[in-house]
Chain A
Amino acid sequence: MSGVWTLAEFREDRINSVSYELLAWGRSLADTLKVELSSVILGCEIKDVESLFDHGSDIVYKVDDKRVEHFLPDTYSNIIFSLVKKYDPQIIIASATTYGRTIMPVLSTKLNTGLTADCTKLEIGDDGTLLQTRPAIGGNVMATIRTQTRLQMATVRPRSKKPISYDKSQRKIIVPEIEDELFKSAYRWIKFERDESTDLPIQEADVVISGGRGMRDEKNFEMLYALAKELNGVVGASRTAVDMGWIPYSHQVGLSGKTVSPHLYMAFGISGAIQHIAGMSSSDIVIAVNTDPDAPIFNVADFGIVGDATEILPELLKALGDKNE
């Protein structure tokens, strides 16, 4: 029996930071259960495996091969399936990224086990089973879920826990032998086209600066980019702003867009429709700027300004600029 596993992500030549957040969750579970914590990582010319130990792993299962350079759901799930059969973990967690949300249901189906989605809290119950808490129905409901099979699997919402540093690691790297057969894939990977507009996906950002219809036009969004730059954040948007063509869909926050839980969320000219709030209510700090004192966004704000966003923003940028001089 080999304890708790986390699926680390190696993409575009680096280990994704969400892999370390996952280890923070994994560590607390493994410590409670008094078992080992492992990372499973697949990729080609994987770098910086040591950092997984520094953030909580005792053991790393490493599959470093040209044939798994890109995410191929069948190859990846076949390989991880074979590792699970051989090493028998009791809990597997992955981040609720496009990788985790694809590999985990494919894998859990093959393993005949349950899977809980997009959890914001994981803990071990009195009987030693995993209690998985997750928001559903647009954040209106929180459900705590238990998996009846011995192997328990969950995806975890990015940014739901801060990475930790760990110095008690055994630093054991296991390079399992994988049969050639398992590398066969039905997928032909062609290429990856990087987005010009963002560096960081909005779900992974510490600070999200969002604009809505109240920003009035696309040009005014430039002020949001400037503020995002100032605060090391990224720009998000309401659906209306996306529908207006002011910003691509990948920036949409809400029920039919992305769910974000940054440390700071700022909403400029966003009314705060329930479908928007569904995507940002788990942010630590919410600041809203809106001309309408009765805008519902103020109900979920920690700080609000009743005012014109297009007047506030230039002044705010100026004040922040002055401060830095």
Chain B
Amino acid sequence: MKIGVLIKQVPATDKVRMDEKTGTMVRSEMEAELNPLDMYAVEEAVRIKERLKDVHITAITMGPQSASDAIRDAISIGCDDGYLLTDRRFAGADTWATAYTLSMAIKKVGGFDLILCGERATDGETGQVGPSVGSQMGIPVLTYVSEIVDLTDKHVRVKRAIEGGHEIVEVDLPALISVVKEINDPRIPNLSGKLKAKFAEIGSLDSVSIEADQSKIGLGGSPTKVVKVFYPKLTRSGEIVRSKDPQSSIKALLNFLKSKEII
């Protein structure tokens, strides 16, 4: 079985700078890491490999040259190899263009039975790329998966975490699955994994090698445009009660709740 895992590199810092003109993120000068929610997708792929025979896992990311670190992180946990999709023309892609680009790369690398991705990236936070990739490729999409109940060469049955409970559905392969955090506990890479990652050869793809339609990639191929960015004021200056006596604190709280017509 061939498994592809889609991973994204995201800024690790809480402070992110935006280019107000183009509405895209300024990535240099920031520390980057593998999207924490993609760790669960990588871990799940590795668990499948441990369970079934002849599983090969390929990690794929679109990003700047430095995103090869995310591929190495994935390999250190147990992915077999990886591809970095990098090209100046990919820059500024929205989820539509990102999904188009990733689906062209997936076609190029070829033959995946299962594609795993994270629920959402902690920076753009749309959660749209996974389902869009599935839609681009015309394969079934299983979102919010909290458990792979059964997996054979032919089909996959999953549990989806939806409002109010869990739904169980099954599809034939190939299929795309986006996982939620509930699905597993990602492992920490061990020394041999880190060494393997350090010396791993990472495949490189660009817009020409994946035979992308140049009008569908990057900023130019993106139907959405960020027209304005601003920083919301998160702080509120509320009244803080510091009484030693819980009774008087509660009295103040009840008054506050009453003033807001909550009780």
Instruction: Tell me the A residues contacting B by CB distance below 8 Å.
Output: 11-12, 70, 73-74, 77, 97-99, 101-102, 104-110, 112-118, 131, 135-149, 186-195, 198-201, 203-204, 207, 231, 248-250, 252, 255-257, 263-264, 274, 277, 281, 285-287, 293, 298-308, 311-312, 315-316, 319-320, 323
Contacts and interface: CB of A to CB of B under 8 A. Distances in A.
Contacts of A319: 250, 254
B96 A320 contact: no
B171 A250 contact: no
B167 A117 contact: no
B124 interface: yes
A112 to B, nearest CB: 8
Contacts of B163: 11, 97-98, 201, 203-204
Nearest to A207: B262
B242 A293 contact: yes
Contacts of B16: 137, 140-141
Contact of A142 (B126, B166, B230, B238): B230
Interface of B: 11, 14-16, 18, 23, 25, 36-37, 94-96, 99, 122-132, 134-136, 140-141, 143-144, 157, 160-172, 180-182, 222-232, 234-236, 238-243, 246-247, 249-250, 252-254, 256, 260, 262-263
Nearest to B258: A323
23 contacts: A73-B131, A98-B144, A98-B161, A101-B143, A105-B128, A105-B131, A106-B141, A110-B135, A112-B96, A137-B25, A141-B231, A144-B229, A145-B226, A147-B223, A189-B167, A189-B169, A192-B167, A193-B168, A250-B161, A274-B14, A287-B256, A303-B253, A307-B246
Given A138-B122, A146-B227, A109 B256 contact: no
B162 A98 contact: yes
Nearest to B125: A136
A98 B164 CA distance: 11
Closest A-B pairs by Cβ, 3 of them: A114-B223, A117-B126, A114-B224
A12 B99 CA distance: 32
A234 to B, nearest CB: 11
Contacts of A302: 236, 238-239, 256
Contacts of A131: 227
A115 B163 CA distance: 22
Nearest to A131: B227
A108 B96 contact: yes
